[in-house]
Amino acid sequence: MNSVQAGSDGDITLLRTEPRRRPAPTTHHYLHSFEADVLMGQAIYMACARLRDAGFTPDVILAHCGWGVALYLREVFPRARLIGYFEWFYHPHDSDADYLKVTDLALLGVPLGGMSPDKACRIRTLNAPILMALEDVDYGVVPTNFQRRVLPDSYQHKLTTLHDGVDTDFFRPDPAAPRCIGEVDFTGVSQLVTYATRGLEPYRGFPHFMQAINGLLRRDKSVHVAIAGEDRAFYSRALPNGETYRERMLRMLPDLPLERVHFLGTLPRAAYRSLLQISSLHVYLTVPFVPSWSLVEAMACGCHIVAADTAPVREVVSGTDAAELVDFRDVLQLEEVMACALRRQEAAEDLRRQARKRAESGFSQVTLLPRWEALLLGEGDGAAASRITQV
**Tens digit of each residue's pLDDT (9 = 90 or more) over 259-290:** 999 999 999 999 999 999 999 999 999 999 99
pLDDT at res. 9:
55
What integer pLDDT is reported at residue 108 of this predicted model? 63
Check pLDDT > 50 for residue 74. Answer: yes
pLDDT score of 291: 96
Which of 289, 133, 269 lies closest to 202 in space, CA to CA?
Answer: 289
For residue 360, pLDDT over 70 is answered with yes
pLDDT value of position 327: 96
Q: Give the pLDDT of residue 109.
A: 65
Mean of pLDDT values over 166-185: 96
CATH 3.40.109.10 assigned to domain 180-363? The reply is no
Averaged confidence pLDDT in the chain: 91
Contact 211, 253 (CB under 8 A): yes
Provide the pLDDT for residue 380. Answer: 65
Give me the pLDDT at residue 1, please.
Answer: 36
For residues 298 and 196, the answer to whether their CB atoms sit within 8 Å is yes
Query: Does the pLDDT at position 5 exceed 80?
Result: no
Is residue 7 over pLDDT 90? no
pLDDT band at 239 (very low <50, low <70, confident <90, very high): confident
Q: Residues of the chain with pLDDT > 70: what percent? A: 91
Rg (Cα) of the chain, in Å, rounded? 22
Tell me whether strands 324-326 and 180-181 are parallel, antiparallel or unpaired: unpaired
Strand pairing of 191-199 and 281-284?
parallel
Write down the pLDDT at residue 12. Answer: 80
pLDDT of residue 387: 57
pLDDT digits (tens, 9 = 90+) for 310-330: 999 999 998 778 999 999 999
Give me the pLDDT at residue 15, please. Answer: 87
Instruction: State the average pLDDT over residues 8-37.
Output: 88
Return the pLDDT at 290: 96
| Segment 100-149, tens digit of pLDDT | 876 666 666 665 567 889 999 999 999 999 999 999 999 999 999 999 99
Residue spans of alpha helices (H) in 323-364: 331-343, 349-363
| Mean pLDDT across 331-336 | 96
237-276: b (≥16 Cβ within 10 Å) or e? eebeeeebbbebbeeebeebeeebbbebeebeeeebbbbb
Residue 215: the pLDDT is: 96
Please say if the pLDDT value at position 11 is more than 80: no
Q: What percent of the chain has pLDDT over 90?
A: 83
Residue 244 has pLDDT above 50, yes or no: yes
pLDDT digits (tens, 9 = 90+) for 177-232: 999 999 999 999 999 999 999 999 999 999 999 999 999 999 999 999 999 999 99
pLDDT at position 346:
81
The ranges assigned to domains in the chain are 4-89+127-165+366-382, 180-363
Q: Do domains 4-89+127-165+366-382 and 180-363 have the same CATH topology?
A: yes
- Which residues of 107-222 form beta strands (DSSP E)? 139-142, 159-161, 180-181, 184-185, 191-199
Q: List the beta bridge partners of residue 253.
A: none
For 4-89+127-165+366-382, CATH number?
3.40.50.2000
Return the axis-axis angle of helices 128-136 and 32-53, rounded to nearest 10°: 30
Predicted local confidence at residue 336, as pLDDT: 97
What whole-number distance in Å separates Cα of residue 142 and Cα of residue 149?
A: 10
pLDDT at 381 over 60: no
Confidence of residue 2 (pLDDT cuts 50, 70, 90): very low
In this prediction, residues 80-89 reach a mean pLDDT of 97
* Helix runs in 188-238, H state only: 206-219
Strand pairing partners for 195? 227, 283
